[in-house]
Structure 1
């Protein structure tokens, strides 16, 4: 482990049993022998000038990254050197471009609005009402989703700040939220909590089978490659929601699940697909890199959809769990035709 990482992880442990030298406190610490004595290694870190006060907490690091992102949006550019490694093309393909040439002033305003809309709804709620989610390790699905219900309502508030979503027919908004409920949760949850909370991890193992739990953990690993940028997944969420498709009911011919104004939904989705393309292009040196990035995004969406279908199939055996859910999340599950009491009218 590099000294910088060692100090960041263990600076607060000085004087504890594992960081007290078993000799006279003068062990030779070199690259080869740095693991011989943790106590002397940590002491050497302090001796050369490393300071515990300069270590950022996770919240401070997240706040710093957000500030950097805001400043980049204001300037309308993102330095190529700070893009994620796999996004950087080979040297032969690296062509210097002006990031602003792909994003119009209107694009930059829309991206900034998306950023602040998510900050003022989902992130604000996370920092106040949902600092710990779930609050306990649940042993039943309905209790997990009941605790999720107010968080989902906050997510709807985010969507209502997106003009193209807010302008849709009320019934179409209800349909697309039901059709993409799992996709929204599976993208938004790791976006809000970049590190899976322990209670959530234990809950997964308690309420789902091993197959679904492994898929959820893999989801978190896949999404990490997009967490470097605060904009990408927020726009992707809008794209996923603005879809008239319904992978949850492939075998169901219920016409009530079909949206009335599919053309408006498609047009709205296309706006954000093109916006995301231009945004990624502004951060890349050529279109080939953007295609690679979009392919990875598509693979992530397919994985998320696969998880949703697995959970739906799993839930078919636990209809009593659905009956115990809060009205909001209960209405997101497939219902019998004689039970059409939807409780998402607040999306209008």
Structure 2
């Protein structure tokens, strides 16, 4: 046990304590203008320590005490670098005070920022009454029935046997993007808001936006569906074949980033997919010979999108509060922009590589609608 010494300064009511050994020596000032320090003599009885009176002078008391403390610390083997001088202690105290003031200043700034952001936010009691819980429930149910169920049924047909040979992979490399497109299209077309649009506007959304959402929808399906190890291996092999070695590195990086940053809440992700779907458009590529689909009544897209984004934001505020909602929403935007960039590169590769052109043409056919009759 380290040495303990105690000193008491009567006028300032301050005490110093240093551990000497298993015995503790208390200091008791006997004189008004003296500092009493008990130092045990070798061989002396513990109850009879020798008293060394020191005249009390305010300008010298700290240095005298410090000298005694240092001498005794060195005698018991303490390292010199572990002992601070009085000046070092004062410097340390100043640094502690500066850091405390800095933390307090930062805390006040953060509180002011939170107040400025949240001053117009509604409270949770209002949110509970204003959130359309039935609408949220219908969205989750529709995704499970139309998207998840379709994906699992198609995946069973695709992965009927453990795919391990290269020939089997080559036969099935085009099935995965087709299954992802079919399942996502089934969900989005089931939405009442989509069915309320004219046929031309429905065709516009399907042609321009569904393929841009395959990546983010794949992330949600991976979160919702269990996969066997051999299915994961087959999925990776197919993704490498479609993306190529360099593009697959970006693809895998975005997948890991999404798992890290995107919150695992199916309501949030599925609402986010709907919000993105009703855009004008996310990204467009028109072949030179294709017929450009024009938007009729663009205001209907904006109205529908505002409805879903308001529902998403109210749900975020209710579940996570203002500041956390901002962080979650920022992550959603960041991840989607990265997914969109990689998705556009994949789309370009499908159009440019001869052995992948058939996949690109098939996906285009899957997202097209017959618009001969306009409702």
TM over 0.5: same fold? yes
RMSD: 3.8
| Structure 1 position 262, deviation (Å) | 1.6
Number of residues of Structure 1 aligned to a counterpart in Structure 2: 248
* Counterpart pick for 1:266 among 288, 296, 302: 302
User: Which residue number corresponds to residue 353 of structure 2?
Assistant: 318
Q: Judge conservation of contact 2:347–2:360 (CA < 8 Å) in 1.
A: no
Going from structure 1 to structure 2, the CA distance change for 1:141 and 1:159 (only over 3 Å counts) comes to: farther
Going from structure 1 to structure 2, the CA distance change for 1:308 and 1:258 (only over 3 Å counts) comes to: farther
Q: Equivalents in 2 of 1:272, 1:104: separation in Å?
A: 17
Encode CA deviations 1:80-108: one digit per residue, 9 max, x unaligned: xxxxxxxxxx999799x964532436511
Q: Judge conservation of contact 1:117–1:161 (CA < 8 Å) in 2.
A: yes
User: Which residue number corresponds to residue 144 of structure 2?
Assistant: 119
Q: Judge conservation of contact 1:122–1:154 (CA < 8 Å) in 2.
A: yes
Please, what TM-score do these two structures have when normalized by structure 2? 0.56
User: Which residue number corresponds to residue 202 of structure 1?
Assistant: 237
| Structure 1 position 326, deviation (Å) | 7.1
Note the residue ranges of structure 2 that are not aligned, 5 or more in a row. 1-109
Larger radius of gyration: 2
Q: Judge conservation of contact 1:322–1:330 (CA < 8 Å) in 2.
A: no
Q: Equivalents in 1 of 2:159, 2:287: separation in Å?
A: 33
Going from structure 1 to structure 2, the CA distance change for 1:251 and 1:300 (only over 3 Å counts) comes to: farther
Q: Equivalents in 2 of 1:157, 1:207: separation in Å?
A: 23
| Structure 1 position 199, deviation (Å) | 0.8
Going from structure 1 to structure 2, the CA distance change for 1:142 and 1:223 (only over 3 Å counts) comes to: farther
Please, what TM-score do these two structures have when normalized by structure 1? 0.60
| Structure 1 position 301, deviation (Å) | 1.4
Q: What aligned pairs does 1:42-53 form with structure 2 within 5 A after superposition?
A: none
Q: Judge conservation of contact 1:125–1:154 (CA < 8 Å) in 2.
A: yes
Encode CA deviations 1:255-287: one digit per residue, 9 max, x unaligned: 8144222211121111111111111111123x2
Q: Judge conservation of contact 1:146–1:325 (CA < 8 Å) in 2.
A: no
Note the residue ranges of structure 1 that are not aligned, 5 or more in a row. 1-89, 334-341
Going from structure 1 to structure 2, the CA distance change for 1:121 and 1:250 (only over 3 Å counts) comes to: closer
**Which structure carries more strand by proportion?**
2
With a CA cutoff of 8 Å and minimum separation of 6, indicate the structure with the bigger relative contact order: 1
* Counterpart pick for 2:335 among 279, 300, 306: 300
User: Which residue number corresponds to residue 182 of structure 1?
Assistant: 211
Secondary structure of the corresponding residue to residue 341 of structure 2 = helix
**Higher mean displacement: 160-169 or 149-158:** 149-158
State whether structure 2 residue 189 is matched by structure 1 residue 160. Answer: yes
| Structure 1 position 221, deviation (Å) | 1.6
Secondary structure of the corresponding residue to residue 284 of structure 2 = helix
Going from structure 1 to structure 2, the CA distance change for 1:256 and 1:250 (only over 3 Å counts) comes to: closer
